[in-house]
Structure 1
Amino acid sequence: MTVSPVGLSAARAGVELRQFFRERTAMIFTFALPVVLLTLLGSIFDKQVAVAGIPSSQLLAAGMIAGGIGSTCFVNLATSIVSDREDGTLKRLRGVPMPPIAYFIGKIVLVLVTAVAEVILVLAVGATFFDLPLPDDPRRWLTFGWVFLLGVTGCALLGAAMSSVPRSVRGAAPIVNLPFLVLQFVSGIFIVPITNLPEPLQQIGALFPLKWMAQGFRSVFLPDAAAATEPAGTWEHGRIAVVLAVWCLGGLILCLTTFRWQGRKDG
């Protein structure tokens, strides 16, 4: 019996999800890290007022959604692909009658599920402990939807491309985590408001998608008065969409040109 590409993709997605949720230590670390950071940093910023009575902790909570998505879709995806490559999983999959797209669809389903779960956890902590307001305007949720989809897509594609950089599983974690940690600082995830950063660091952060994701999410959950804390003084939705779309395209090009199915030791 011939199995359709859709069936193979669904089967691969099931494998990816089962593997992820069976590795309890990795799963707990993935979901807990942004929540722990939000709780610790939010407690520090909770008494500080950013603008118009809006606590800095709410700026942090909204921006931390972007940090959680980046962690699950960029860091975790990159390291998991390196692991698949080094333990021979990718090589074995290339030897079976499964279209390559099925493997990538499986990873896409995995990052979507984990990203949604991460967002729910961060929102729950933000709303419960730091009074992060949940919008009742459908237009804000529409903004959330396109920022989320573009952000997940861009981070996942960049994570897949980044997986070709580490030479081994052992070196993957520091190689992937270090640039992401730096980006979180220069993108205004940990430093709020972002205008507290030196201008050269703001300009560096503006080159990458994480800053624009965080700005987009702040525009969803915070009052319009909070736009005064952004470098341009406005939410810049059009620019956010353009930058994230460009990074999605750039990530796709990088994936197509750099992705490797075999480890370096396999030739």
Structure 2
Amino acid sequence: MTTTPATVRTDRRATTVTRRPPSTWRTSLSRTGLELREMLRSRDDVVFTLALPVLLLVIFGSVFTDDIAPGVTFTQYFTAGMAASGVLLTSFQSLAIAIAVERDTGALRRLEGTPMPRAAFFLGKVGLVLVTGTAQLAVLLAVAWLVFDVPMPTGVSGWATLVWVAVLGSAAGTLLGIAYSSVPSSARSATAVVAPVVLVLQFVSGVFFVFTELPGWMQAVASAFPLRWMTQGFRAALLPETMEAAEAGGSWDLGLVALVLAGWVVVGLVLCLTTFRWRRRGDR
């Protein structure tokens, strides 16, 4: 008797592995790393964004060695101005130029068509500003302290003031830079449209000169913009209490500084939401 082995049929169910896309937070961290690598590959960005405030501090601190008040050197005053200017450079100027270039080259248009959450793009820019701004401020203060004997804050309140002014200033500068990136019509004109704005604000906001020695109309113009208030906040953190009476309002007015900078954060956010473009004008 011949036995035929039974045919065993095995049904294999197709198993589909669904991979969840990375979270917005994880994508944002990746974007931040990418932004940092791209910036470090560009020597121009590193020099003019990160090193310029330090170079100006060394030059001005070496040339102007007189006291502007008993026990307070011009270098101390200038360090506060350069700290605020550095925040503006790493946030407003850097982003306004970089995003305008990315839009003109079509990089933003390509990113818009990817599955990447749009929030990750902006959070990547925020991460870039956070890292570069912190590094620049740390180097600037280290040079001021080690080379020019500029006193650093001695108490918790002084360091706390330094931190919150830097955070609010960076937030305002970042949002305004993203919004202002829509103003240049091309990558070629980006630097010409952005850099003069920063330069003028530096001259009228008490960065290169003692603020109260500027003409009244300059002080009024500067008071409408965040750089003037950032410089005052950093002076409150870095200068002795004896200099408080020499301010335009007779005090540091830190409450007003916080209010103005927070107001510019709100204004920058509104402008970002209403003006930001992923594509060039005329592109469909």
Instruction: Using structure 2 for the length normalisation, give the TM-score.
Output: 0.90
Q: 1:229 to 1:130 in 2, by over 3 A?
A: farther
CA contact (8 A) 1:8 1:98 kept: yes
Is the 1:35–1:121 Cα contact (8 Å) retained in structure 2? yes
Query: Aligned-pair distance for 1:240?
Result: 0.2
The reply on whether 1:28 has 2:34 as its aligned counterpart is no
**In the alignment, structure 1 residue 110 sits paired with structure 2 residue 128:** yes
Q: Structure 2: where are the runs of 5+ without partners?
A: 1-18
Q: For residue 237 of structure 2, what is the amino acid of its counterpart? A: V
Is the 1:135–1:220 Cα contact (8 Å) retained in structure 2?
Answer: yes
1:6-33, CA deviations, whole angstroms, 9 ceiling, x for partnerless residues? Answer: 2211211111111111223321232221
Matched, 1:4 2:4: no
Matches within 5 A, 1:124-163: 124-163=142-181
Contact 1:52 1:226 in 2 (8 A): no
Q: What does residue 60 of structure 1 align with?
A: 78
Counterpart pick for 1:69 among 74, 80, 87: 87
Which digits, 9 at most, give the CA deviation of each residue in 1:128-159, with x for residues without a partner? 23221112201111111111110000001110
Q: 1:255 aligns with which of 272, 276, 280?
A: 272
Q: Find the counterpart in structure 2 of residue 183 from structure 1.
A: 201
Q: In the alignment, does 2:90 pair up with 1:90?
A: no
Q: Distance in 1 between matches of 2:180 and 2:155?
A: 37
Matched residue, 2:7: none
The aligned amino acid for 1:10 is L
Unaligned runs of 5+ in 1: none
Shift of 1:175: 0.5
Which residue pairs with 2:64 in the alignment? 45
Q: C-alpha distance in 2, partners of 1:215/1:130? A: 21
Q: Measure the CA separation in 1 of the matches of 2:80 and 2:59.
A: 15
Equivalent residue, structure 2, for 1:228 = 245
TM-score (norm. length: structure 1): 0.96
Name the aligned partner's letter for residue 105 of structure 1: L
Measured against aligned partners, the alpha-carbon deviations of 1:203-233 in whole angstroms (never above 9, x if no partner) come to 1111110011011011111110112331112
SS at match of 1:50: strand
CA distance in 1, matches of 2:184, 2:170: 22
Mapped partners of 2:34, 2:200: distance in 1: 32
- Supply the RMSD in Å over aligned alpha carbons: 1.2
Aligned residue in 1 for 2:217: 200
Question: C-alpha distance in 2, partners of 1:253/1:261?
Answer: 17
Corresponding residue number in structure 1 for 2:281 = 264
Letter in 2 for 1:240: V
- Greater CA deviation, 36-45 or 175-184? 36-45
What is the aligned counterpart of 1:119 among 133, 137, 149?
Answer: 137
Secondary structure at the counterpart of residue 183 of structure 2? coil
Query: Is contact 1:216–1:240 with CA below 8 Å preserved after alignment?
Result: yes
Mapped to 1, the partners of 2:55 and 2:80 lie a distance apart of 15
Distance 1:69 1:63 in 2: 10
Q: Kindly indicate whether the alpha-carbon contact (under 8 Å) linking 1:67 and 1:184 is maintained by their aligned counterparts in 2.
A: yes
Q: Which has the larger radius of gyration?
A: 2
C-alpha distance in 2, partners of 1:166/1:174?
Answer: 9
Classify the secondary structure of the residue corresponding to 1:264. Answer: coil
* Mapped pair 1:16 → 2:35: yes
Q: 1:251 to 1:175 in 2, by over 3 A?
A: same
2:260 to 224, 240, 243: 243
The letter for the 2-side match of 1:128 is L
Q: After the TM superposition, list the runs of 4 or more consecutive aligned residues in structure 1 that deviate by more than 4 angstroms.
A: none
Shift of 1:265: 4.3
